Amino acid sequence: MSVVVLVRHGRTTANATGVLAGWTPDVHLDDVGRQQAEAAAQRLAPLSLSAIVSSPLDRTRETAAAIAAAQRRPITVDVDDRAGECEYGDWTGKALKDLAKEPLWKTVQARPSAVTFPEGESMLHMQQRAVAAVHDWNARVGPRGLYVVVSHGDVIKSILCDALGMHLDTFQRIVVDPASISVVRYTKDGTTVLRMNDMASDLSDLAVARRRRSSAAAVGGGSGQR
């Protein structure tokens, strides 16, 4: 049973001004975003994380660094390009109010699975590589692993769609705010979404559940008895 904590990066100036940042370099957390990242880090501080994985972009790496700094033991941040933002191509750096006038905008809202951004990536490919990254990290941290992936709104929404058994075309029904936390548990029998767009709840129950799983494994492991 692996548990992944999906954290969206804190707010940036691009978020605040309604610009689609995409893979634009040098987009950093603003003052509010840094406070949000620190608040998320403190919520995660009681959890002994198996790994912290980040998108390669500055805003996610800054958020991941805050989470790592709040941990009780030293932990490095692993960068995985598959957790990176969708490649929006020619839409990158443009104002959302202007993009909303584009014919493709309606398709993005209603049928994201059919969207390939001009000179960019399809939303279906974004989902496939992000979900593949989660499954790879599940295998890497093991069945009792509890780890964080710091990523972007659309990427996290696509992972949640997959975890919920929903088609990507239901993508826009999910809200993932800056610095919000979503939690998914993966087992051999299925997937359970434990939290979505959570901004304030106590996360200590995740640590308790992990300790219980570890104790159960220690008691029953290798005994050959039922």
Task: Evaluate if pTM is beyond 0.85.
Answer: yes
Instruction: Give the sign of the dihedral formed by CA 8, CA 46, CA 189, CA 81.
Output: positive
Residue 37 CB-half CA count within 13 A: 25
- Looking at the domain assignment, is residue 34 inside a domain? yes
In this predicted structure, what is the pLDDT of residue 128?
Answer: 98
- Looking at the domain assignment, is residue 225 inside a domain? no
Return the percentage of the chain with pLDDT > 70, whole number: 92
> Which tokens in the block code for residue 164?
């919920």
DSSP string, the chain: -EEEEEEEPPPBHHHHHTB--TT-TT--B-HHHHHHHHHHHHHHTTS--SEEEE-SSHHHHHHHHHHHHHSSS--PEEE-GGGSPP--GGGTT-BHHHHTTSHHHHHHHH-GGG-B-TTS-BHHHHHHHHHHHHHHHHHHH-TT-EEEEEE-HHHHHHHHHHHTT--GGGGGG----TT-EEEEEEETTEEEEEEEEESS---HHHHHHHHHHHHHHHHHTT----
pLDDT, tens digit (0-9, with 9 covering 90-100), for 106-156:
999 999 999 999 999 999 999 999 999 999 999 999 999 999 999 999 999
- Please check whether residue 147 is in contact with residue 137, taking contact to mean a CB–CB distance below 8 angstroms: yes
In this predicted structure, what is the pLDDT of residue 207?
Answer: 79
In this predicted structure, what is the pLDDT of residue 212?
Answer: 57
- Please check whether residue 46 is in contact with residue 207, taking contact to mean a CB–CB distance below 8 angstroms: yes
Residue 185 maps to which CATH number? 3.40.50.1240
Active-site residue numbers?
A: 9, 85
The CA–CA distances, whole Å, from 101 to 88, 111, 116 equal 16, 17, 17
Asked whether residue 177 carries a pLDDT value surpassing 60, the answer given is yes
- Looking at the domain assignment, is residue 29 inside a domain? yes
- Looking at the domain assignment, is residue 214 inside a domain? yes
Higher-scoring residue by pLDDT: 57, 222: 57
- Looking at the domain assignment, is residue 91 inside a domain? yes
- Looking at the domain assignment, is residue 223 inside a domain? no
Which residue range(s) make up the domain with 180?
2-218
Q: What is the mean pLDDT of the chain?
A: 93
pLDDT, tens digit (0-9, with 9 covering 90-100), for 61-91:
999 999 999 999 999 999 999 999 999 999 9
Number of domains in the chain: 1
- Looking at the domain assignment, is residue 226 inside a domain? no
Asked whether residue 223 carries a pLDDT value surpassing 50, the answer given is no
